[in-house]
Chains A and B, each alone.
Chain A
Amino acid sequence: ILNVEQSPQSLHVQEGDSTNFTCSFPSSNFYALHWYRWETAKSPEALFVMTLNGDEKKKGRISATLNTKEGYSYLYIKGSQPEDSATYLCALTEGNQFYFGTGTSLTVIP
């Protein structure tokens, strides 16, 4: 079992603010890291999959970076909008198994 930690647990920001959260994981035997966006009453939706140290991914105002040597990934949201309100999950892959963090709950206040 791999311990995947996310911080902070929850976050409230004003519309227009930029924000970021952290996913920490054991750096040994790294395979892949996934970010998901999970809106209330819906299913998790894949944002990014990253496999290489130094990977950077971007989708619109959301981007992510990966540091496998030190065992962390950052998710950034630029100019937060109310529709960005959701829980953001990261998951570490080891073989065919996925180990999820408990998520960061983001609330964007209009």
Chain B
Amino acid sequence: DAGITQSPRHKVTETGTPVTLRCHQTENHRYMYWYRQDPGHGLRLIHYSYGVKDTDKGEVSDGYSVSRSKTEDFLLTLESATSSQTSVYFCAIGSGGAYNEQFFGPGTRLTVL
């Protein structure tokens, strides 16, 4: 398995509180991604990073911010969590290029009450 971990794996929080999810990789891949998985929508890209301090928005970036200060860590922050952000969040890594195969982390289940 690719060396990707996510923390926490489960979290329950209240509306309006800040939440940070962490993705850590040991593969030294350049690209890192955050997705959310919701019924009827599949996986949707929130943000991605193509290097340290280099990030860009995905399809559903509103309400989320990211940071990447080290190659191995990619943080996803919900500044003020809302119930619509209840979801399963997956981190993925990739080496880039034409065959940009992605490897996924185990996921974080977030519930916002």
Contact = CB atoms under 8 A, between A and B. Distances in A.
Interface of A: 1, 31-32, 34, 42-46, 49, 51, 89, 91, 93, 96-103
Contact of A34 (B42, B45, B101): B101
B104 interface: yes
Interface in B85-113: 90, 96, 98-107
Given A89-B43, A91-B43, A96-B48, 20 more contacts: A31-B98, A32-B98, A34-B101, A34-B102, A42-B106, A43-B90, A43-B105, A44-B43, A44-B90, A44-B102, A46-B101, A46-B102, A49-B99, A51-B98, A96-B31, A96-B56, A98-B43, A100-B44, A102-B40, A103-B42
Nearest to B31: A96
Contacts of B56: 96
A31 to B, nearest CB: 8
18 contacts: A1-B59, A32-B98, A34-B102, A43-B105, A43-B106, A46-B101, A49-B101, A51-B99, A93-B100, A96-B31, A96-B50, A96-B100, A97-B59, A98-B33, A99-B45, A100-B44, A101-B42, A103-B42
Contacts of A32: 98-100
In which size bucket is the chain B interface?
20 to 34
A99 B106 CA distance: 20
B13 to A, nearest CB: 22
